[in-house]
Amino acid sequence: MSDVLLALQAAADTTRAYGEFPVIGARGAVWVAAEVHLMFAAFVLGVPLFAVVAEAIGVVGKDQRYDRLAKEFTRLLLVAYSATAIWGAVLTFLLSTLYPRFWAYLTAVFGPSMWAYVGLFFFESFTLYLYYYGWERWHQGRSKVVHLGLGVLLNVWGTIVMLIANSWLTYMMTPPRDITPTTDPASIKLWHAIANATWMPINIHRLIANVVFGGAIVGAYASYRFLAAKTEEERAHYDWMGYVGNFIAISALIVLPFAGYWLGREIYQYDQSMGITMMGGFMSWLWVIQAFLIAVLFLAGNYYLWIGMGRIPGAERFRPYTKYLLMVLVLGAIVWGTPHTMIADARELAAMGGSHHPLLGALGVMSAKNSAVNLMILTTFLSFLMYRRANTRPVVPWARTGTWIQAGMFGVAALVVLYFGIKGYFVEAIVRIGYSVYQVGAVLACIVFVTTIDILMGRGAQSLGAIRWGKMPARSQYALFVLAVTFTWLMGLMGFARSGIRQHWHVWQLVQDTSKYAATPALGYAAKMISACVLIFLTLVAFVFWLGGLAEKSTFVPSSEKREKEGARVGH
Residue 544: CB atoms within 10 A of its CB come to 21
Four-CA torsion 447, 448, 452, 458, nearest 10 degrees:
30
Give dist(CA 85, CA 133) in Å, integer: 20
pTM above 0.75, yes or no: yes
The residues facing 392 across adjacent strands are: 463
Cα Rg of the chain (Å, integer) = 26
CA 60 to mean position of chain CA atoms: 27
The three-state (H, E, C) secondary structure of 304-371, written as one string: HHHHHHHHCCCHHHCHHHHHHHHHHHHHHHHHHCCCCCCCCCHHHHHHHCCCCCCCHHHHHCHHHHHH
b (16+ CB within 10 A) / e for 96-113: ebbbbbbbbbbbbbbbeb
Give dist(CA 541, CA 324) in Å, integer: 37
Give dist(CA 325, CA 302) in Å, integer: 9
State phi, psi for 15 to the nearest 5 degrees.
-90, 165
Q: Per-residue confidence of the chain (572 residues) as pLDDT tens digits?
A: 445 445 545 554 555 778 888 888 888 899 999 999 998 888 888 888 888 888 888 777 777 778 888 888 788 788 888 888 899 999 999 998 998 988 888 888 888 999 999 899 888 888 888 888 888 777 666 677 888 888 889 889 989 999 999 999 899 888 887 655 445 566 678 888 888 888 999 999 988 888 888 888 888 888 988 888 888 888 888 888 888 888 888 888 878 877 887 888 888 888 877 877 777 667 777 877 888 888 888 888 888 888 888 888 878 888 888 889 999 998 888 887 777 666 666 776 667 666 666 666 667 677 788 888 889 889 988 988 888 888 888 888 888 898 899 999 999 999 999 998 888 888 776 677 777 778 888 888 999 899 898 888 888 778 777 788 888 888 888 989 888 899 889 888 888 888 888 888 888 888 888 888 888 888 888 889 999 999 999 998 888 888 766 666 544 545 444 444 444 443 44
State phi, psi for 511 to the nearest 5 degrees.
-125, 110
Give dist(CA 321, CA 419) in Å, integer: 25
Distances (CA, A) of 382 to 225, 328, 389: 29, 12, 11
Four-CA torsion 498, 504, 505, 509, nearest 10 degrees:
-110
Distances (CA, A) of 33 to 38, 98, 456: 8, 13, 49
The residues facing 463 across adjacent strands are: 392
Give dist(CA 276, CA 268) in Å, integer: 8
Domain ranges of the chain: 2-312+467-565
Assess contact for 446 and 378: CB atoms under 8 A. yes
Residue 422: CB atoms within 10 A of its CB come to 12
- First vs last C-alpha separation in the chain: 75
Q: Degrees (nearest 5) of the Cα angle 382, 386, 387?
A: 115
Mutual angle of helices 523-551 and 474-500, in 10-degree steps? 130
467: left (phi over 0), alpha (psi -120 to 50) or beta: beta
b (16+ CB within 10 A) / e for 198-230: bbbbbbbbbbbbbbbbbbbbbbbbbbbbbeebe
